[in-house]
Structure formats: C-alpha cells, structure tokens
Amino acid sequence: MRAARSPLFRRLPHQVDERLTLIICAAVVGVGAGLGSVLLNESLALGGSILHPFRGRWYGPLLPAAGALTAVIILKFLFHEVGGHGVPEVLYSISRKGGLLRLRASVSRLVACALTIASGGSAGPEAPVVISGASVGSNTANLFRMNERQRTAIVGCGASAAIAAIFNAPATGIVFALEAIIGEWTPINLVPIAIASVLGTEVSRAFHGNQIPFEHRVFEVSGLDLATCVGLVLFTAAAAVLFVRALRMSERLFSRLPANIYLRVALGGLAVGALGILLPEVLGEGYEVTREIIEGIHAPGVLLIGTMVLAKILATTLTLGSGGVGGVFAPCLVVGAFTGLFYQRGLTALFPRVGWAGEGYFGLLGMAGVTASVIQAPLTGIFLVMEITGGYDVLVSVVLVAVLSATLSHAFEPHSIYHEKLIARRQLLRPRTDARILSEITVAEVLERDVHVIPPDMRLGEFVEVVRQSHRNYFPVVDRGNGKFVGMVHLDDVRSYLFDPTLYDSVVVEEFMRRGVPAVSYEDELPDILLKFEETGSWSLPVLHRGVFLGLVSKSTLLDHYRRELLAQESD
Amino acid sequence: MRGAGGDSVTIVGLETARARRNRGRAPGVRQVSGISSMEISLPQAAHLLGIPEQTVRRWARQGKLPALESEHTFVFRRSELERWARRHGITLVERPARSEDEAPAEPSLPVALERGGFLRDIPGDDVPSVLEATVARMPLPPEADREDLLERLLQREELASTGVGHGIALPHPRVPVEWAPPEGMVTVCRLAGEVDFQALDGRPVSILFVMLSRGAPFHLKLLSQLSFHLRDESFLAFLRRLESIEELIAEVTRRHDRLGGGRGTAP
C-alpha cells in the first residue's frame, strides 16, 4: 500500500530529505528556466537582425502590428491563451492554486514575446521568461511529487532563474522572486531560489558569456550629487505613476473597442509603428538607447528627451494595452534612463558651472527609481540596476532614489502593477495574511451538521421536545416534500411561548419561524461569508446548495478554525 | 516526493529503520511490523488533532502537516504529528473517543452509589467537622487530594446550604473535581448525631449524600435523579433504617423500574 517511491531518500532523515529534494529540483528548474531565457534572447537577436533591413522600407511601420498580430494568433490557436504581461497569472497561481501552472505556458509566451518585441513592439522580455520559468518550476515540482508549499517555492525558483538569466543578474533574480513573486522571506524558500538563480545565471553565461549589459564609467559622486538626486525622485515617481495610469487607461480604452482582439492588437501595433517613424528609439526593448545614455553618448537635447519619456510610456502602453505580449521591466528601465537624463540636462541648464556626476549617473538612478516604483519593489529595482550596470560605486544614491521614489509613488499608486488586478478581484493572497487564511478554509470544513432540522408543520409542543434534546439555539426549517430550506427558528424568538402549554397544540412552526433568512451557498468563500455575518449581525447562517439545507456555519466555529489555520500556517 | 514535514528530526528508531529497509526491498507490500502501530490513518489523525478530515487532507496536500502520501490518501506518523502539534501550539486530543475513561452520557445513580459506598456513624457536631470526617473515610481514587476536596465542599456550604430538608444534605464541591471517577460517585453517610446544616426547613441533618463528578452537566443529571427519589416520603423512611449500600441500590433500581423513570428528570 505504501510504496517506496525513492528508496534512496527514504533512508535520510525527514528534513534533510525535504531540503535535498527541494535543492535538486531547484537546480533542475534553474537550468530549465535559464535555457528558456537564453532561447528568448537568441530569438530576439535573430529576429532583430532578420527584420532590421526592412525597418527602413515603406512598410517598416507596419512591422510592429504584424508581429503583435502573429503573436496573438499563435497564442490563441496554438496555445489557447491570451496576451498581456502575465506575471499576475503566476501570482494568482501561487495565491489560489498552490503554484499549479500549465506546461504549455513554458513556451507559449516566449514565442509570442519574441515576435512582439523583435518586430518593434515596446515591451520587455522578462515577464514571458518569468511565466516560462514558473511553469517549468511548477511542472518539475509535480514530477518530484511535491506538495503545494514546496511547489510554490519551486515556482519562485523558476521565476528567479529566469530573471537571473535574462539580465545576467543572480541577486536580482533572488530578490525578485522573494519580493515580487513569493512575497515572504523564509530560509526554506531562500536556499532553493538562490540555487536556481545561480544556475540560471550560469546557463545564460555559458551561452552569452559574462557580459554586463550596460557598462559604465566610474562616476565621481560628490555630496552635492547625492543631495540633488533627491530631486530626481519627484520625476521618477511622476514617470512611474504616469506609466501605471497610462497602461491602465490604455487597457480600458482598448477593451472598449468593439472590434475583436486581433484588430485591437493590430491597431496598437500600427500606432506603435507610427510613433516609431518619428522616434525610432521607442521601439523594441530599448536596450540600445539605454546603453547610450549610461555611457553618456546620447546626444539629443532636453526637450527631445522629455518627449522620449512620454513617447516610450505611450509606446509601451499601446503595445501591452492592446494585448501584445511582453513585460514592463525593460520599458521601465528605458523610461527611467530618459527621466534621469532629462533631470541631468535640466540641472546642467540651470547650474552650468557645477560639475555634475555625469549623464550615466542620473540615468542609472532614474532606472532604479522608475522600476522600483512601477512594480513597488524597491529591492528588485536596486539590485537590478546594480547588477546590470556594475555600478556599485553609486549604490548609496541608487538605494536612496529607489526607496524614496517607491514611497512617493506609493502615495498615488499603492499597488504594484503586478498586483493591482489581483487585488481588485481580492485574489492576491500573501502568506500569513487574513485573506489568505480565510481563503484556505472551505465551507465543508466549518459546516456544522449536528443540527435538528424541523418541518414547517410541526406543533409547538413537539418543538419544545426538540428544544429539550438539542444544545443549539437555531433550528432550520426544511420542507418535508422537496427538502428545501424555508426558514429558521431562533430560540430567542419563541422563548416566551415555550412554557405556555396552552399553545402547544395550536401553534405550528411555520407561524413563528423567521422567513427570508440570509443564507450562504456551499460554494461561497469564507471572506464573503464573513461579510454576510457582518451585514446581518447574526451568529449562525444556514448553508444551502440549490435551496437544500446542508448545515450551519457559525461565527464561533469559524474563530476556532481560523485560529488553528493561523497556527498551522506558521512554517517551521 | 513522499515526505512533507518541516520537522528537524525524524525518529529513526530500530523498528523504523528495519521497516524502511523492508519497504525499500519490496515496494508496494504492506508491512505488518511495529511501524504500522505508529502510522495512523487520515481519520485517526483528524480525531487526534480535533479537526475535520477535509482540513487534515488539505493541510497534508499543502504541506503544512507532515504526511506520507499513500495511494490516493495520506498516512501520518503519530510521533511526527505530536511534534508538529507541539511546535504549532495545537493541542492533541489525547484520549481516543471510546475509552473506558470517558464519562457515560447518562449518569446512573445505582452505579454512582456503588462507587461511592455507604459510611455510618460519622462523628462531628458541626458542618466542618462532619465533612472532614466524611472526606477522611470516603473511598476516593489514589490521586485524590482530600484536603482540597474538603475545602471545596466547605466553599459550597458557605455559598448556600446543601441541606434539602427532611434531614438530608447533598454536599458537593463548589468546583467539580477533575479526578472524580468518570461514572461519578455518591457516598451515602449516616451521621452519629444530628447536625445543623442550616437547611431550608430548619431541621437538623442526619443523612448525607456526598456527590462527586467531573462536570456540571453530569452533576446536574445525577442530582436530578437523586432528588426524584428524595421527594418520596417512603424513600426517606427507607433511608433512616438503611443498613447497607446493596439495600439502597436495590431499592433505587426497584423504584426506577416501577415508576418507569428512564430519565431522572421530574415527571
């Protein structure tokens, strides 16, 4: 009956066994997710070089539309999925499905994203690799027969390895997985995630070499620079808020269009293509222009740069809002770099005598500020910028801008772009939160079946006998014929008649029961049930399934279960 | 992956190790060795933790509870569950549901009388001395704390007299004693003299029914059965010439049967 599935592990002590399995699984996932990132990087490079000669032709502006359209069609017909940046899907899976993700998600987004970005769509490659890595993690965890807690950790491993591989940034991968995906920092999560991140990075380095994406010069950072970078926070926070709101508005506008999804994507792509005629820098992931800024060789003047901030935001919101496939990380970096440069140019214009730390310095800070603000994950922003630029000499300023900018934008846009949709649907359930605990408990677990059910035609005398034998105050009334719930008798309502034998034969239950009692359904989730308790002020509610009475839920039992769930959630 | 615990140590006793080896050799064969007694089923685990089976199943699936995956269900190691519960501050239900230790739902006066016994010629001329002499002679279980019992009995008398009239008093502790026998006990005592219990009817008391039980509901049911008999004048007369507990048990059973009083509650 109890088959030994892995005789080797059987002999190891339990926890060593668990940790070792997690680590082995994390290593497998790290390599898998890393390969996914490499694959996407290669296809982006390939696609870019194939399409580059056509950019200049008359039909160049049509390319983004064609790419995005093909991506959506492939996604729809080959993989039966829809567009969007997709990180919320991973978070939803972790919140509600114990980290289950479909296997096909490990390739579908990669293909779609490669087409979207290579053709010129303004988006980043990181969200698709996160989904891909997470899906590799989820399915590998299933192979290892893991439970939900372990599978969630391995999904985090996939995300971590993917980010680490795509940016050649191992620490960012770890921090991103913990801060943005898993949402809690525990040693049991940290070890496998770190291992996956390291292996993901190594896989990427094996193919691409250990390149730092944006090499920079060493900056001489004075106290004055540090002080002025506080002013930059205003701009990065503003750019981030604008970005988040524009993306939301664009999604709303596109969803209002009566046309079907293909037309929408095509329209978005056309608009991006048109924008690309004027400002070709906004097309694609935008790493080239970012590199120029950091190296301090981006020439245009302050006004054009200011326009670029807005244009890049517009291009990204058009691409993603219309249903294109891609992430927000890379666009955030580009917007941030432009914002920083804009600020620096402004400073130079105002105080031409001061020797500022350089365009690259403010570009870096802008990248950290905008990224930290848009995804509301300051640590991810800090580590990302540190690792992709190697700019550890500006660490202090980067930290300062990232945390201040995240805080400031939090006042306007409190939720991460990844979280807001889930929060709106009340589906973002972070570990150890009230909502999480409640959502885990099902009605079946708190259902009380030891209740006396009475028929509506029962006489008061008979009811008194039921009361004598019961230890409850609520008596659900159920129709004898069809078994439907018709009302409820609360002992308090009839207490005064119970001791009046003259009424025993003349009054029937129907005449003193409460009708129209608020009820909950068997499928309801606990947060909704608690809301109903609050609205009605009652202590016990009947649970119905298609009108048939199943049992009661009561506040006191809920407290009991809630507390135990809370105790059980504490990890070891 | 079969393991699911977050425990730092696993009991690797001799038996466990042997059972593991055996299983490694012959997978799929159910072992009828010592380990079977340590492994418990899902319903048993649910009972031990005092939670619904659905919750246990979910916790095992989510990896909150250390469990072994068996075909289509989970099995648990008792020792692991105990450690897990301790770590998470969850109290285990120690006794299995049907233990001889468990109190019967309906108390039986004859059983309680048999357990309590009959004491005669209790000395003393006031309530404390009478109760002290009674407690000293009562057939209590070995773990009983007689001083504590006396104190609780006196507390109850201070609160209100337990003299119910007709020369009868029903002393019982103010707070139920946890070491009381599960079936309850009623010790009948005939005093050497008569003592003023400040009973409602003012008559001095010569017969005591000292009642011990584990909980208030049980006590009330027992009390209700006893007072049913005490209302009868002929029963009171019978008590005054009582010689042995067997006599009393027979009389109580006879009256019970005659009156058809299955329940102790007033007719």
ipTM associated with this complex: 0.73
Same domain, B129 and B245: yes
- The residue from B87, B121, B152 where one domain ends is B87
Same domain, B115 and B235: yes
Residue extents of the structural domains in chain A: 7-208, 223-424, 437-569
Model confidence, pTM:
0.69
pLDDT range class, residue B200, cuts 50, 70, 90: confident
DSSP 8-class letter at A181: I
Same domain, B157 and B245: yes
pLDDT above 60 for B41: yes
Per-residue pLDDT at B199: 84
Same domain, B153 and B243: yes
Task: State the burial class of residue A356 (Cβ atoms within 10 Å of its Cβ: 0-12, 13-18, 19+).
Answer: buried
Report the distance separating Cα B262 and Cα A549, nearest Å: 34
Tell me the shortest Cα–Cα distance from A201 to chain B, in angstroms. Answer: 27
Per-residue pLDDT at B104: 59
Report the distance separating Cα A149 and Cα A98, nearest Å: 7
DSSP 8-class letter at A546: T
pLDDT above 80 for B168: yes
Report the distance separating Cα B196 and Cα B184, nearest Å: 27
**Ranges of H-type helices in A125-186:** 126-143, 148-167, 170-176
**Tens-of-pLDDT digits for all 572 residues of chain A?**
344 444 444 444 455 677 888 999 999 999 999 999 999 888 888 888 888 777 777 777 788 888 888 888 888 888 777 765 678 888 888 888 888 888 888 888 888 888 888 888 888 888 889 999 999 999 999 988 888 888 999 999 999 999 999 989 999 999 999 988 888 888 888 999 999 999 999 999 998 877 777 776 677 777 888 888 889 999 999 999 999 999 999 988 888 876 677 888 888 888 888 888 888 888 877 888 888 888 877 777 788 888 888 999 999 998 888 888 888 888 999 999 999 999 988 888 888 887 777 788 888 899 999 999 998 999 999 999 888 888 778 888 899 999 999 999 999 988 888 888 888 877 778 777 888 888 888 888 899 888 889 998 898 889 998 988 888 888 999 988 888 899 999 888 888 888 888 888 888 888 888 888 889 998 888 888 988 998 888 888 999 988 889 999 998 888 888 988 888 876 65
Same domain, B180 and B51: no
φ/ψ of residue B182, rounded to 5? -60, -30
pLDDT above 90 for B34: no
Report the distance separating Cα A395 and Cα A397, nearest Å: 6
Domain range holding B132? Answer: 109-259
CB contact A11 to B (< 8 Å) = yes
> What CATH number does the domain containing B60 carry?
1.10.10.10
The neighbour count for residue A442, using CB atoms within 10 Å, is: 18
Any residues with CB less than 8 A from the CB of B89 and at least 6 apart, and which?
A567
Q: In the CATH scheme, what is the code of domain A437-569?
A: 3.10.580.10
Residue identified by tokens 């009947």 is: A542
CA of A6: which chain B residue's CA is closest? B1
Per-residue pLDDT at A572: 53
SS3 A549: strand
Q: In the CATH scheme, what is the code of domain A7-208?
A: 1.10.3080.10
Same domain, B163 and B36: no
Report the distance separating Cα B18 and Cα A409, nearest Å: 62
Per-residue pLDDT at A10: 46
SS3 content of chain A, % helix, strand, coil (to 5): 65, 5, 25
Tell me the shortest Cα–Cα distance from A505 to chain B, in angstroms. Answer: 20
> What CATH number does the domain containing B236 carry?
3.40.930.10
Same domain, B246 and B155: yes
Per-residue pLDDT at A9: 45
Name the residue among B115, B138, B110, B134 with its Cα closest to residue B123.
Answer: B134
Whether residue B3 lies inside any domain: the answer is no
CB contact A1 to B (< 8 Å) = yes
CB contact A186 to B (< 8 Å) = no
- Give me the number of domains chain B comprises: 2
Report the distance separating Cα B219 and Cα B209, nearest Å: 13
Tell me the shortest Cα–Cα distance from A542 to chain B, in angstroms. Answer: 19
Report the distance separating Cα A246 and Cα A268, nearest Å: 14
For residue A522, list chain B residues with Cβ-Cβ distance below 8 A.
none
CB contact B59 to A (< 8 Å) = yes
Same domain, B137 and B233: yes
pLDDT above 70 for B249: yes
Name the residue among A109, A92, A271 with its Cα closest to residue A183.
Answer: A92
Per-residue pLDDT at A405: 94
For residue B65, list chain A residues with Cβ-Cβ distance below 8 A.
568
Token pair of A74, please? 């492939």
Is there a common fold for A223-424 and A437-569?
Answer: no
For residues B112-142, one letter each, b for 16 or more C-beta atoms within 10 angstroms of the residue's C-beta and e for the rest, the string is bbbbbbbbeebebeebeebbbbbbeebebee
Tell me the shortest Cα–Cα distance from B192 to chain A, in angstroms. Answer: 42
CA of A7: which chain B residue's CA is closest? B24
Q: A33: which strand partners?
A: none
Told to judge if B172 belongs to the known catalytic residues of this protein, a careful annotator would answer yes
Whether residue B8 lies inside any domain: the answer is no
Same domain, B178 and B253: yes
Name the fold adopted by A223-424. Clc chloride channel (1.10.3080)
Report the distance separating Cα A362 and Cα A342, nearest Å: 9
Whether residue B6 lies inside any domain: the answer is no
CA of B12: which chain A residue's CA is closest? A13
Which strands make up the sheet holding A548-554, listed edge to edge?
A520-521, A540-545, A548-554
For chain B, the average pLDDT equals: 77
Same domain, B115 and B205: yes
- E strands, B73-176, in order: 73-77, 118-122, 163-165, 168-169
For residues B58-79, one letter each, b for 16 or more C-beta atoms within 10 angstroms of the residue's C-beta and e for the rest, the string is bbbbbbbbbbbbbeeebbbbbb
Name the residue among B185, B83, B91 with its Cα closest to residue B138.
Answer: B185
Chain-chain contact of B71 with A1 (C-beta, under 8 angstroms): yes
Are B102 and B182 spatial neighbours (Cβ–Cβ below 8 Å)? yes
CA of A22: which chain B residue's CA is closest? B1
- The residue from B26, B53, B87 where one domain ends is B87
Same domain, B164 and B219: yes
Same domain, B83 and B118: no
**Ranges of H-type helices in A359-456:** 359-374, 378-389, 395-412, 420-424, 434-440, 443-446
**Packed helices B127-137 and B146-159: angle between N→C axes, nearest 10 degrees:** 150
